[in-house]
Amino acid sequence: MSAPETTAEAATDPSVTDEATAEAVRRREDSAVLRIGEDDGERLEAESSASDTSMIMNMGPQHPSTHGVLRLMLEMEGETVMRSKPVIGYLHTGMEKTAETLTYLQGPTNVTRMDYAAPLFSELAFSMATEALLGLELPPRATWIRMLMCELNRISSHLLFQATNGMDIGAVSMMLYGWREREEALRLLETITGLRMNHNYIRPGGVAADLPDGWRDEVLTLIDTLPARLNEFDTLLTGQPIYRERLQGVGVINTAECLALGVTGPILRSTGYAWDLRRDMPYLAYDQVEFDVVVGTYGDCFDRYAIRLNEIRESIGILAQILDQMPSGDYRVQDKKVTPPPRARIDESMEALIHHFKIFTEGFKVPAGEVYAAVESPRGELGCYMVSDGSAVPYRMHIRGPSFVNLQTLPHLMRGGMVADAVAIISSVDPIMGEVDR
């Protein structure tokens, strides 16, 4: 039948509704992704016969093992998930558009609130993109301070995963222990930056302030304490039969699927594919430290748990090397165009006061061009694409958020599994919805 030419004809032609339903069914059966809208779901539910065991069910919007608000549309047959569709946007804040109204110096204050479990990585990607446009070369100390902060933040983020993943599976004691160790990492970050989260510490040109007195002893205390605690996590969870039963063979994905979807981070490495930007596309000074890229074998929830646990151990090793190799010198570039004067100079010099005022009110102009800078965040490749038109604010900024990309795996991970495994699978993806709905 030829398609009706007008909306009115379509509304009065009953076969159009039948064709729409048939198309919805065909699309639904083609893949693991539930490719229907809310209206299609309601119509299919209403027209299903009593003998039809499938149903459309909403999971959320609420917090099912996510740091933010996620909704899932599930097509169920009994308790088995046949297809699913992540529905996002409940936490949308427009941070990329907001970036077009903020100067490059104000930018880190904005992006640090995207992945609020690992804010320093967003600050780093933004600052690296800005510095590439400016053509800045950082002092060695600023580079190593950034590495120190990012590895501390990687540890705190993975400890948060250990805590929430344990709680989602029912190991409530793991929530208490993981949260306890994360608090120690956050306390150290607060000592250095002044804030527990959303630090605004890594800025274009270096970092906000030099490391405080006693920082080395604080870092040593943390990395000396953590290994024994991680061994306790191993004892509590890794060999626990119920925990292994809940995770092994659940939410399986392979390398080809990950590469097709653009998935990175622990999810990709759980398939045995050793891809880590710190090693394969080195930035900062990661080519001057030794560490292993932790990979899995089966691509299941258990592999993703074990990878993050062992990546904490690798970060501890990196921190020990940073302590040995931390250079002295400036913590930011000494370029008057982008660097505010020292605080003490403002009280002594009118020129310094004017310079400080103009930097923080007008910002600094960045040469026209476009650039992409990427870092290895705890969730995968975090990239910042930036376009400058020569003014003091970005013409366009886009964040390649790993949580947003990795969320595509949910329908593939859930297909054929039990609804009871859905929360375990979401937890193993470790999405941060602030980054998804940026």
SS3 readout for 239-257: CCHHHHHHHCCCCCCCHHH
Task: Let me know whether 316 and 395 are in one domain.
Answer: yes
Beta partners for residue 76, in sequence order: 55, 81
Higher-confidence residue: 18 or 252? 252
Count of domains for the chain? 2
Give the pLDDT band (50/70/90) at residue 19.
low
Average pLDDT score, the chain: 86
Highest mean pLDDT among 10-19, 318-327, 357-366: 318-327
**pLDDT of residue 203 exceeding 90:** yes
| Predicted pLDDT at 338 | 85
Position 1 in a domain: no
**pLDDT of residue 41 exceeding 80:** no
Average the pLDDT over 45-57 and give the result. 63
**pLDDT of residue 50 exceeding 50:** no
Give the pLDDT band (50/70/90) at residue 37.
low
Task: Let me know whether 104 and 83 are in one domain.
Answer: no
In tens, the pLDDT along 251-308 reads 999 999 999 999 999 999 999 999 999 999 999 999 999 999 999 999 999 999 999 9
Task: Let me know whether 324 and 229 are in one domain.
Answer: yes
**pLDDT of residue 119 exceeding 80:** yes
Task: Let me know whether 406 and 394 are in one domain.
Answer: no
Average the pLDDT over 219-236 and give the result. 93
Higher-confidence residue: 18 or 343? 343
Average the pLDDT over 339-368 and give the result. 86
| Predicted pLDDT at 43 | 60
**What whole-number distance in Å separates Cα of residue 215 and Cα of residue 233?**
27
Task: Let me know whether 412 and 394 are in one domain.
Answer: no
Average the pLDDT over 73-85 and give the result. 88
**What whole-number distance in Å separates Cα of residue 310 and Cα of residue 313?**
5
**pLDDT of residue 80 exceeding 80:** yes
Position 337 in a domain: yes
Q: Which residues contact 401 (CB under 8 A, 6 or more apart)?
A: 114, 115, 382, 435, 436, 438
Task: Let me know whether 33 and 131 are in one domain.
Answer: no
Average the pLDDT over 179-189 and give the result. 94
Handedness of CA 214, 219, 224, 228 (dihedral sign): positive
Counting every residue, how long is the chain?
A: 438
Q: Which residues contact 281 (CB under 8 A, 6 or more apart)?
A: 374
Q: Which residue has the tokens 């920082």?
A: 215
**pLDDT of residue 40 exceeding 70:** no
Q: Report which residue type is found at 407.
A: L
Task: Let me know whether 294 and 218 are in one domain.
Answer: yes
**pLDDT of residue 9 exceeding 50:** no
Position 3 in a domain: no
**pLDDT of residue 24 exceeding 80:** no
**pLDDT of residue 365 exceeding 60:** yes
Position 10 in a domain: no
**What whole-number distance in Å separates Cα of residue 369 and Cα of residue 362?**
20
**pLDDT of residue 355 exceeding 80:** yes
Position 274 in a domain: yes
| Predicted pLDDT at 28 | 45
Average the pLDDT over 355-361 and give the result. 85
Residue 189 near residue 149 (C-beta atoms within 8 A): yes
Percent of the chain with pLDDT over 90: 61
**pLDDT of residue 193 exceeding 70:** yes
Residue 380 near residue 267 (C-beta atoms within 8 A): yes
Task: Let me know whether 269 and 382 are in one domain.
Answer: yes
| Predicted pLDDT at 30 | 53
| Predicted pLDDT at 358 | 85
Give the pLDDT band (50/70/90) at residue 48.
low
Residue 269 near residue 263 (C-beta atoms within 8 A): no
Average the pLDDT over 412-438 and give the result. 89
Task: Let me know whether 54 and 200 are in one domain.
Answer: no
Domain with 189 in it: 95-400
Task: Say which CATH number the domain at 276 has.
Answer: 1.10.645.10
Query: Rounded to the nearest 5 degrees, what angle is found at the Cα of 322, between the Cα atoms of 272 and 108?
Result: 80
**Structure pTM?**
0.87
**pLDDT of residue 1 exceeding 90:** no
Position 4 in a domain: no
For residue 68, is it left (φ>0), alpha (ψ between -120 and 50) or beta?
Answer: left
**pLDDT of residue 368 exceeding 70:** yes
Position 7 in a domain: no
